[in-house]
Amino acid sequence: MTSKTFMCSARLLRHCLHKHRRVFRVDPVRRLCYGSHQMAAVRSAVRTVDLRSDTVTKPGAAMRKAMAEADVGDDVFGEDPVVNELQKEAAEMFGMEDTLYVPTGTMGNLIAVMVHCRERGDEMLLGDLSHIYIYEQGGSAQLAGVHSVALTTLADGTFDLDRLISKIRHGYPNSHYPRSRLVCVENTHNIQGGRVLPLSFLQELRSVADKFGLAVHMDGARVMNAAVAQGVHPSVILQHCHSVSVCLSKGLGAPVGTMLGGSKDFIQRAVRARKVLGGGMRQSGILAAAGRIALSDLIGRLEEDHRNTKRFAQALAECDPPLYQLDLASVETNILRFRVQDDYMSSEEFCERMARVDEEEVKALGQGVRVLMFPHIGDAIRAVWHLGISEEDTELAIQKAQFVAQQLRLKSVRAA
């Protein structure tokens, strides 16, 4: 090697060792919601109660066994026996002609919009606080060319039907306007705190839709929670809809998957839409096996989640000092929305405090408790119960919330 070559190599080595490194900053809200390496590196003595979402559930032993033993085939060819059984069982449960297994709820909703609104420039009407409108990236416009009309979402998750009627377009094919084709509802309603849509509202909505030739799609990600809360079979709710998407990976505990239900013709078209969106999986029976367990074994236990949610809400309402603001009458299922009355603490700051453990807390409670929650719309906090949260976990979360309230009172007294 010549001296010139050696000098170049040495210079290159120094450049690699000392070159500028890119710094990636983590958004504090995202860190709260999804965790970080720092949050994970806590002492083993600390107990974590994860109320961020019912999507954090993990499959249990029965699910894992079913997945490991699944007899699979190529689902794109319609040859996976587990997927086929799951779709048959879901159709019977929903009271619909057919269902389709898709990877996610967002994909299921988008497929429904694509099938019901077959021409670019068609229009759907939906609540302005609905998941489809707020949290799905405008996929209906982005990928399907469908225009949205947003209606004011009421506190119970419904919208005014007279207002809906006033927004329906007439006179198609008038060249100036889109064509109204679809109405979407969400049950239970996420942003409004897990509210259950009244059956009377769904019945009246279907009558309006039939009168004006519209289809009704339900984002039923948590419709099983609605059925348990109302004490009815899911088909009693879904009889008022032309299509529905039902998540298996939230309160029902499966790791992946949503069931999209509708008529035979709807599902035939949905298969085509699923393919173009990249949702045509092959040996997906391994995942569908967990979905079968979810539908057969885990719907009844949702009542436990509702009970724990109401227990926590009641404790917040009775907290001394009275730090928390919530409406107990609106707590119907597994989602709780509340606010902190202290003007000096935002929802992000409260969630940070609930996730943090200090020595004073360990002395007062006998152990450290990290309670993970979600900063939500309108400076609110969202907490969601699921199969990973026991009654004991709920009591620990209550103790932590009471401890935080007492700390804030002491801080105010000292400041005064």
Q: Please tell me the predicted confidence (pLDDT) of residue 252.
A: 96
Buried b (16+ CB within 10 A) or exposed e, 184-208: bbbbbbbbbbbbbbeeebbeebbeb
Q: Please tell me the predicted confidence (pLDDT) of residue 39.
A: 40
Pairing of strands 335-340, 380-384: antiparallel
Q: Please tell me the predicted confidence (pLDDT) of residue 416.
A: 64
Residue 174: which pLDDT band, with cuts at 50, 70 and 90? confident
Question: CA 145, CA 135: separation in Å to the nearest integer?
Answer: 17
pLDDT tens, residue by residue, 211-220: 999 999 999 9
Angle ∠(332,334,338) on CA atoms, nearest 5 = 80
Distances (CA, A) of 89 to 86, 99, 113, 410: 5, 9, 24, 56
Average pLDDT value for residue range 271-276: 97
Structure tokens at 359: 């020595």
In percent, how much of the chain has pLDDT > 90? 81
- The mean of the pLDDT values for the chain is 90
Q: Please tell me the predicted confidence (pLDDT) of residue 45.
A: 78
Nearest to 294 by CA among 132, 136, 93: 93
**pLDDT over 60 (residue 250):** yes
Structure tokens at 319: 């907290």
Least confident stretch, 171-175, 228-232, 261-265, 404-408: 171-175
Average pLDDT value for residue range 9-29: 41
Angle ∠(169,111,225) on CA atoms, nearest 5 = 95
Q: Which amino acid is at 170?
A: H
Integer-rounded Cα radius of gyration of the chain: 25
**pLDDT over 70 (residue 24):** no
Distances (CA, A) of 368 to 47, 50, 191, 373, 400: 6, 14, 30, 16, 9
Q: Give me the sign of the Cα torsion angle 315, 318, 324, 325.
A: positive
Average pLDDT value for residue range 28-54: 62
Average pLDDT value for residue range 263-280: 97
**pLDDT over 70 (residue 6):** no
Residues 371, 355: contact at Cβ < 8 Å?
yes
In this structure, how many other beta carbons lie within 10 angstroms of the beta carbon of residue 283? 17
**pLDDT over 60 (residue 33):** no
Pairing of strands 258-262, 324-325: unpaired
DSSP string, 349-413: HHHHHHT---HHHHHHHSS-EEEE-EEETTTEEEEE--TT--HHHHHHHHHHHHHHHHHHHHHHH
Q: pTM score > 0.95 for this model?
A: no
* CA–centroid distance for 107 within its chain: 13
**pLDDT over 90 (residue 116):** yes
Q: Please tell me the predicted confidence (pLDDT) of residue 409.
A: 83
Q: Please tell me the predicted confidence (pLDDT) of residue 84.
A: 98
Q: Please, how many CA atoms are within 13 Å of residue 252, restricted to the half-sphere of its CB?
A: 29
Tokens 């599902």 correspond to 267
DSSP string, 259-293: EEEE-HHHHHHHHHHHHHTT---SSTHHHHHHHHH
pLDDT tens, residue by residue, 307-358: 999 999 999 999 988 999 999 999 999 999 999 987 778 999 999 999 999 9
Average pLDDT value for residue range 126-135: 97
Q: Which amino acid is at 240?
A: H
Question: CA 237, CA 286: separation in Å to the nearest integer?
Answer: 30
**pLDDT over 70 (residue 32):** no
DSSP state for residue 28 in the 8-state scheme: H
Buried b (16+ CB within 10 A) or exposed e, 61-70: eebeebbeeb
366 or 227, which is more confident: 227
Pairing of strands 380-384, 374-376: antiparallel
Nearest to 384 by CA among 392, 395, 394, 396: 394
Least confident stretch, 173-177, 302-306, 333-337: 173-177
**Phi, psi (5° rounding) for residue 133?**
-80, -35
Q: Is 299 helix (H, G, I), strand (E, B) or coil?
A: coil
Residues 376, 347: contact at Cβ < 8 Å?
yes
